[in-house]
Amino acid sequence: MAVLKPEYNSSNATCPGYTLNQSDNLVANQQNIDEDYAWENDIWVIGEEEGVPANDTTIKHTFSPSEVGSTNRFNGQSEYGGIIQVTSFNGIEPWVSGKPEFQYFVFNATGTKIKEREFPKKKRKDFKAPDWKDFGDFIGFWNTSNIGQWMIESWAEQDCRGGTCNTTTYNQNFAAPCTGCPSTSVSYTIKDTDYNMGGTLIQFTDPITTVYNITNANIKRKN
């Protein structure tokens, strides 16, 4: 069975289904296909493919809370990110767009970018709540003397389709989590067709088990 990507209906997240007749022509089969059906059955999506992110195939397995290690951070401890759980895929992009291509940015307490990484495509069901996907990305050793008492982590889902795409720069300001501390402003640039998922402030004093909310997803850290 096949669907045509341009026929995706965003109001009900379905696409009309087609089959091949004896003349090898696509004919409508009177069935609307949704994401759950597509996961359990062989569905061909006919449409323009999204651009491919960096050739980075280093990933970890699905995240488990037992991997966190100690709950509380200590100065100089290793810090890992790239752990995400999607709460609404339709809010990010329709299922006919195929596998998601995430990237993230990490900033120190003064707003300086210390990490930017594009992650390889993975199946949508690997990210969909209640599952977590752990890309096992090493951010660094969190020394408060150089990183500060907090970081800011922002995510995007890439949608640029081949060729040269225009870019959009997002600026975000985060109130300081401590009395008398300065606020933090960050800036990052993505393609103008990418989906900006926003960011969140992560404090050194937060338990490492903390779940942080961004747009249509949750993120975590581990040590």
Residues 111-123: what's their mean pLDDT? Answer: 94
Quote the pTM value: 0.77
| Residues near 133 by beta carbon (within 8 Å), at least 6 away in sequence | 59, 62, 63, 83, 84, 85, 122, 126, 127
In this model, does residue 198 exceed pLDDT 70? yes
Pick the CATH number of 65-222 from 2.60.40, 2.40.50, 3.90.105, 3.30.70: 2.60.40
Q: Which of 3-7, 9-13, 93-97 has the lowest mean pLDDT?
A: 3-7
In this model, does residue 60 exceed pLDDT 50? no
pLDDT given at position 43: 73
User: pLDDT category, 67, cuts 50, 70, 90?
Assistant: low
User: What are the structure tokens assigned to 71, written together?
Assistant: 């709950």
Domain boundaries defined on the chain:
2-46, 65-222
In the 8-state DSSP scheme, what is residue 100? Answer: -
Please report the beta strands in 1-76, taking only residues with DSSP state E, as ranges in sequence order.
2-4, 15-20, 26-33, 44-46
In this model, does residue 129 exceed pLDDT 60? yes
Contact 197, 92 (CB under 8 A): yes
User: pLDDT category, 55, cuts 50, 70, 90?
Assistant: very low
In this model, does residue 59 exceed pLDDT 60? no
User: pLDDT category, 66, cuts 50, 70, 90?
Assistant: low
**Given the DSSP bridges, would you call strands 113-118 and 102-107 parallel, antiparallel or unpaired?**
antiparallel
In this model, does residue 207 exceed pLDDT 90? yes
Residues 61-75: what's their mean pLDDT? Answer: 65
